[in-house]
Structure formats: C-alpha cells, structure tokens
Amino acid sequence: MDIGIIRPYEVEFHPGDVADLENAITERNHRPVRIYVDMLEVRLGRGVEIYQGIGRNEPVKVEVSGAILRHLGIFRDFEQFSYRVFAARALELAGALVMNPVMSWLVASDKMASAMLLVKAGLPVPPTIISENMFSAYRAVSSLGRVVVKPLRGSMGYGVFKLEDPDIAMHVFSMLTNLNKPFYVQRYVEKNEGDYRVVVVGGRAIGAEFRRANGWKSNVAQGARPEPAKLNGELEELAVKAVEALGLEYGGVDIAETKEGYYIFEVNPTMSWQGFKAATGINPAKYIVDHLIEKLKM
Ligand SMILES: Nc1ncnc2c1ncn2[C@@H]1O[C@H](COP(=O)(O)OP(=O)(O)O)[C@@H](O)[C@H]1O
Ligand SMILES: [Mg+2]
C-alpha cells in the first residue's frame, strides 16, 4: 500500500519523526509517499481528486490508501490555514484514511476546543477561563490567583506565561486585545517536578515518560529531561479517555500529578516523540503505522 505523510514543503518540522514513520512503513513492506500540503491541487469535478506538483513540475495524482497527518505549517493568514486544513480533509474525501482524522486534529490542536471536550467527558482540567474581553481576563486572574496564560494554538511551551498580579494582567491583556488575541487563562497548579506524557495509540497506552522540568514548564523544548516512567491504571485510563474524547487515533497526553490528583494539560495530536523514544525505547511510529495498516485492512 501507499501511505502518505502529510506536512508542508516550505519548512521541514521534526525530521526525526518523519524518518521514523517512513522507516516503519518501509519495514512493513509498504511505500511511504511524501505529501506536501502546500503543493497540492484539489480537483473537483469527477468527485474529489488530489494532485501534487512541486513548483512548475507536472502534477501527479496522489492515490494513497492512508496517510499520517504530521504538520500543516505555521500561519499568518486565516484563509491559508483554512485552505490547508481542507486540503488535508480533501485527501480523506478522495478516499484516504488519514490519521489523525483531520477534523479531530483540528479540534485537538486548539486548546479551547479540546479542553471543552475533555471537561464534557468528565476529565480533570484545571479551572480555565477563555475570553476576548480583557475585563473577563482581569477577573479571571483576581479569582483564580496565580494563572498560566496560553496561546490557543501554541506548542512546545512557547508563549505560555505565568501571571499573578491582576493589575499587571490588565496591562498584558489590554496589549493582547490590541493584537486581537483571545485569552486562555488557567489556574496554575503546583506539580511534582514535571509532567507525565502518556502516549496512546489505537485505544491503548503504549508507554509513558516523566519530563523532569528545570523550571515550571515540562516541555523538552524548554529544557525538560525525559525519563522513563511507569504507567499506573489511573494514568492509563485518563490518557486513553482523553484521546478518545477528542476522536483521535493516537496522541500524547500531558498529565500533571498534584496534591489534588491528576490534571490534564493537553492532548497533542501530532506529538514529537524523539525524547520519548530515547527515554523509553518505545518507538511510537511503529505503533501508529501498525494501527493505520490494521484499520485499512478492516
Ligand atoms: N495550569 C498549569 N499549571 C502549571 N503548569 C502548567 C499549566 N499549564 C501548563 N503548564 C506547564 O507549561 C507547559 C506548557 O503548557 P501546555 O499546555 O502543555 O502547552 P504547549 O502546547 O505549549 O506544550 C506544560 O508542559 C506544563 O508543564
Ligand atoms: Mg504541552
């Protein structure tokens, strides 16, 4: 079978993860196909057909059984973002099984959209207020005390900051208002030297790492060190339910252990796994590719 890996042509993100996926596909005697979301041509007429042409090259038809969605790029324009989401969706409409499903990826990659579903599924998320109104954000800091403010579509800890003085918060929020940024304000929870990252594939937790932080952020990109961690029933259940609540086939679930119990910070629908692989010896790419092939056979 031909199995695509969807990512942008303009910038290569996380090449190690892409290489792991290509190797896993080849090891299973299938063929990896590079699908560049910014080089596609979506042809409508006889149904939905996808062609790929890099620059002036003659476009060739993309006919893959399945595809793994890795990255759509970084956006400054809403229409471009929308186009790329639906170009990936077009691959599904053309008949490919895309993992993660594009619409689930869309929800999961937005912290507000995903936290709403986690809470609805009864999962523990720290108290959070999301608004465009700077007075709401000010009240949020007054009522929650120390808070963490996050970009709705960020990752790797970039742009995540702490605030505790409501008046300083007011200045920050009024500046963000001028940039048309909504606010995601979450109660700061005191955790135990880092977070767990549980990797779930096909409804099963395949392993866990503990990311020992060297500050309060546990992102590897922010200097956290990944260590192997033991799964327990509760961590496993939370992670599996979180991935399921978002309609994902796989995901990396960030969970903090606190005095009040576990809290879920987020579910990463296209997590990078080089740190996890080094710490645990488990290669998520093999599980993801096997799960995709399994689903294609059904
Ligand atoms: N409510 C919170 N309380 C304490 N620390 C937090 C909170 N939310 C996030 N963090 C820390 O900040 C890091 C980045 O936040 P996260 O929500 O995972 O965003 P990102 O998508 O940037 O990784 C987390 O790994 C966690 O260690
Ligand atoms: Mg995170």
- Does the pLDDT of residue 155 top 90, yes or no? no
Q: Which atom of ligand 1 is nearest to the CA of 126?
A: 1
Q: Which domains does the chain have, with CATH numbers?
A: 2-99 (3.40.50.20), 108-123+191-288 (3.30.470.20), 128-187 (3.30.1490.20)
Place of tokens 């742009």: 159
Q: Ligand 1 — pocket residues by CB below 6 A?
A: 126, 148, 150, 154-157, 160, 186-189, 195, 216-219, 254, 265-266
Given a contact cutoff of 8 angstroms between Cβ atoms, the answer to whether 224 and 193 are in contact is no
The predicted structure's pLDDT at residue 11: 86
What's the whole-number mean pLDDT along residues 88-110? Answer: 98
The predicted structure's pLDDT at residue 55: 85
Place of tokens 């790929």: 52
Q: Which atom of ligand 1 is nearest to the CA of 268?
A: 21
What's the whole-number mean pLDDT along residues 120-142? Answer: 94
d(CA 60, CA 45): 17
Tell me which ligand sits closest to the C-alpha of residue 256: 1
d(CA 131, CA 141): 12
Of residues 203, 6, 11, 25, the one with CA closest to residue 89: 6
What's the whole-number mean pLDDT along residues 188-193? Answer: 90
Given a contact cutoff of 8 angstroms between Cβ atoms, the answer to whether 294 and 287 are in contact is no
Q: How far apart are the first and last CA of the chain?
A: 14
d(CA 188, CA 162): 8
Q: How far is the CA of 157 from the centre of ligand 1 (A)?
A: 7
Given a contact cutoff of 8 angstroms between Cβ atoms, the answer to whether 209 and 277 are in contact is no
Tell me which ligand sits closest to the C-alpha of residue 185: 1
What predicted TM-score, i.e. pTM, was given to this entire model? 0.95
Kind of pairing between the strands at 97-99 and 66-69: parallel
Q: How far is the CA of 289 from the centre of ligand 2 (A)?
A: 23
Q: Percent of the chain at pLDDT above 90?
A: 87
Q: How far is the CA of 235 from the centre of ligand 1 (A)?
A: 17
Tens of pLDDT, residue by residue over 198-224, are 999 999 999 999 999 988 999 988 889
Q: Give, using CA atoms, the residue closest to atom 26 of ligand 1.
A: 217
What's the whole-number mean pLDDT along residues 159-174? Answer: 92
The predicted structure's pLDDT at residue 118: 98
The predicted structure's pLDDT at residue 127: 96
The pick from 109, 110, 146, 148 for probing ligand 1's pocket by mutation, whose C-beta has the most ligand atoms within 8 angstroms, reads 148
Q: Which atom of ligand 1 is nearest to the CA of 189?
A: 3
Quick one: tokens of 133?
């109104």
Of residues 197, 203, 198, the one with CA closest to residue 288: 203
Q: Give, using CA atoms, the residue closest to atom 9 of ligand 1.
A: 265
The pick from 254, 255, 262, 264 for probing ligand 1's pocket by mutation, whose C-beta has the most ligand atoms within 8 angstroms, reads 254
Q: How far is the CA of 115 from the centre of ligand 1 (A)?
A: 13
d(CA 170, CA 160): 17
Q: Which of 3-7, 127-131, 154-158, 182-186 has the lowest mean pLDDT?
A: 154-158
Q: How far is the CA of 217 from the centre of ligand 2 (A)?
A: 8
- Does the pLDDT of residue 130 top 90, yes or no? yes
The predicted structure's pLDDT at residue 298: 84
Quick one: tokens of 289?
């590719």
For 51, the enclosing helix (H) or strand (E) is strand 47-52
> Three-state SS for 276?
helix
> What's the pLDDT band for 123 if we cut at 50, 70, 90?
very high
d(CA 93, CA 97): 9
Tell me which ligand sits closest to the C-alpha of residue 110: 1
Tell me which ligand sits closest to the C-alpha of residue 159: 1
Q: Which atom of ligand 1 is nearest to the CA of 188?
A: 3
Of residues 62, 85, 102, the one with CA closest to residue 8: 85
> Three-state SS for 285?
helix
